[in-house]
A = this chain, B = another copy of it.
């Protein structure tokens, strides 16, 4: 039986994919895949997604060079979320941080704080169009 039969894509044909750094265990980002981007991810060993805001198929790192080499793909009990272990080149976040999760809610639950420094300057990584 194909594992695709275990998956539930949502009404827009999408499934969320949590991306985790296999070496450190850090969660790097969450993005959405459709079936085509999942197939391309499996075929190439590099993560591919579907951008909901841009309505566009994209490969992580296609502009920045910060690609993700896939090490393992797991899926949850409900079949509606993917967890992808990767080897991350450079910064996972388009804002230049290693992980997109660089802001923590303060202990008083009112404000938040930035928990790390960016790895790279996004203006230098992404070409302006």
Residues in A lying within 8 Å of B, measured CB to CB: 1-3, 6, 16, 18, 20, 24-27, 29-30, 42-43, 72-78, 81, 83, 93-95, 97, 100-106, 109-112, 115
Contacts and interface: CB of A to CB of B under 8 A. Distances in A.
A125 B65 CA distance: 47
Nearest to A29: B76
B76 A3 contact: no
Contact of A100 (B24, B77, B102): B77
A102 B74 contact: yes
Contact of A93 (B75, B77, B103): B77
Given A42-B105, A77-B97, 8 more contacts: A1-B111, A3-B111, A16-B16, A24-B25, A25-B25, A27-B83, A73-B105, A76-B93
A105 B27 contact: no
Contact of A110 (B2, B16, B27, B93): B2
